[in-house]
Amino acid sequence: MIRVLLSALVLSLFPAGVSAADRNSEHAEKTLEIYTNIIEMETSKNLGNVPGMARYLADEMISAGIPEADVEIMPIDGTAALIARYRGDGSSGKAPILLLGHMDVVEARPEDWERPPFKLTRDDEFFFARGTIDNKFGVAQLTSTFIRLKKEGFVPNRDLIIVFSGDEESTMISTRALAYDRPDLAEAEFALNSDAGGGLLSDDKKILSFLIQTSEKTYVTWEITARNPGGHSSRPRPDNAIFDLADAISKIRALKFPVRWSDTTLEYFDETGKHLGGELGDAMRAFAEDPGNEAAAERLSIESSFVGTTRTTCVPTMLSAGHAENALPQSATVTVNCRVFPGVPVAEVKATLQKAIGNDALQFVETYSPTESPVSELREDIRAAASEAIHARYPGVRILGNMSSGGTDGMHFRKAGIPTWGMGGIVMNPNDAYAHGLNERVPIDAFYGALDHWSIIIKNLAGD
């Protein structure tokens, strides 16, 4: 069945550096096999399926020659983490490299999707399923790269350690255990994260830049609750928990946090604007030249792909209210998720929200303690390794540091003192990125284009 599918894939257009023969190679077939199998394991939270996925990946690497003693499944709080050490000869005298990814995915309701979310399907351009991007793409590519390198007889000059978490999309309990409670991982020189970074394509499929994540915004969520004595619905009262909460939500909608920037974000907008061109590209370059340019900042604020790079953002994501249709609500709660610009204290964001809402009676409850992580300044050896990998596909494209608007496992490893850079192999138009949303998809060309990505990076950083 896999061979039939691969034969059909050959009909698709190939990106630079990817031939039909590459798509029929043993490595391509193994990567697609792993990708297909793990996508069809529904690893949403609370289902208990992550340990089974970890066992499958462990067995694949053991079968390829990674000693069983070097592959560990770490059960934790109903999920699991996977640690696989590819031993080097130590000739470089350098500490290990961690290679990060996460095995869990965000929930998906089959009735809402156009295609089955936990079965890999395709059309002429895309693979579709939950996790095709986030992050089973990276997990499959890293796993198959270890298998490929082992079969080739590659001996790195330092240890390489795959570190896959099991609940990145929810509590990050496994991530915290890996980052803070494992002295063997803490000895690493740095970590490379498959769940961040990557190449950006324009609408006409021209590559704009390749991004290396150097930092990420702080992830914090509050449940904001309005309370009321309630009563019978036939006897409405002037104050109402739902009305009070609705007023608060309207004020959050109108709130814009101050514009922020860093050297990383200004370089990113300058270079991306040059390649993108048009009105949006002009706004990017104007912002890079003068972050105080209100018109440029306003133009960027309406772009969902870029607004997070200019400021802290807070948005309602869930609602809950009332207890009966014929009773006045005794409580109403909105869940507000914020992505806080690096360097801005979480307490400052909470104070800004409270001031904007202007209702001291509302209760703010932080869902769990946020992680404020430092910036990993981009090193030249890391940039060089990424350059070699992406230039094999897209010669001459500019490599840029990037601040991620989303949250990843990288925040905890940075906080633990391990410099972490996100440099996943996906190259695609950000407007096609439906991670966490309906009908998540990844370009077929991006999947096959990334087949050599991690091999090149690993050999650059841990080869002779």
CATH topology classification for 218-366? Alpha-Beta Plaits (3.30.70)
**Which of 8-22, 56-70, 167-181, 310-324 is the least confident region?**
8-22
Greatest alpha-carbon pair distance for the chain in Å reads 80
Residue 232 in this model has a pLDDT that exceeds 70: yes
Q: Identify the helix (H) or strand (E) that includes residue 428.
A: strand 427-428
Residue 15 in this model has a pLDDT that exceeds 70: no
In 3-state terms, what secondary structure has residue 191? strand
Residues 32-42: tens digit of each pLDDT: 999 999 999 99
**Residue 17: pLDDT band with limits 50, 70, 90:** very low
**Residue 19: pLDDT band with limits 50, 70, 90:** very low
Q: Are 53 and 43 in contact (CB under 8 A)?
A: yes
Residues 104-146: tens digit of each pLDDT: 999 999 999 999 999 999 999 999 999 999 999 999 999 999 9
Q: Are 218 and 346 in contact (CB under 8 A)?
A: yes
Report how far apart, in Å, the C-alpha atoms of 370 and of each of 152, 218, 220, 415, 456 are: 43, 7, 5, 12, 35
DSSP 8-class letter at 175: H
**Which phi and psi angles does 342 have, rounded to 5°?**
-55, 135
Mean pLDDT score of the chain:
93
In 3-state terms, what secondary structure has residue 222? strand
Q: What is the pTM of this model?
A: 0.83
Residue 10 in this model has a pLDDT that exceeds 80: no
Residues 214-223: tens digit of each pLDDT: 999 998 999 9
**What span, in angstroms and rounded, lies between the C-alpha atoms of 314 and 255?**
9
Domain ranges of the chain: 2-196+408-462, 218-366
Residues 53-98: tens digit of each pLDDT: 999 999 999 999 999 999 999 999 999 999 999 999 999 999 999 9
pLDDT at residue number 22: 83
In 3-state terms, what secondary structure has residue 226? strand
Strand order in the sheet with 126-128: 121-122, 126-128, 441-443
Residues 354-393: tens digit of each pLDDT: 999 999 999 999 998 899 998 999 999 999 999 999 999 9
Give every CB contact of residue 265 below 8 A, 6+ residues apart in sequence.
309, 310, 403
Q: Identify the helix (H) or strand (E) that includes residue 287.
A: helix 278-289
**Residue 21: pLDDT band with limits 50, 70, 90:** low
Beta bridge partners of 106: none
DSSP string, 67-122: -GGGEEEEEETTEEEEEEEE----TT-PPPEEEEEE-------GGGSSS-TTS-EE
Residue 11 in this model has a pLDDT that exceeds 80: no
**Which phi and psi angles does 412 have, rounded to 5°?**
-75, -40
Q: CA quadruple 300, 301, 303, 305: dihedral positive or negative?
A: positive
**What span, in angstroms and rounded, lies between the C-alpha atoms of 118 and 109?**
10
**What span, in angstroms and rounded, lies between the C-alpha atoms of 433 and 443?**
10
Give the CB-side neighbour count of residue 448, counting CA atoms within 13 A: 26
Residues 384-441: tens digit of each pLDDT: 999 999 999 999 999 999 998 778 999 999 999 999 999 999 999 988 888 899 999 9
**What span, in angstroms and rounded, lies between the C-alpha atoms of 168 and 50?**
12
Superfamily of domain 2-196+408-462: Zn peptidases (3.40.630.10)
**What span, in angstroms and rounded, lies between the C-alpha atoms of 238 and 352?**
27
Cα torsion for 183, 145, 200, 401, to the nearest 10°? 30
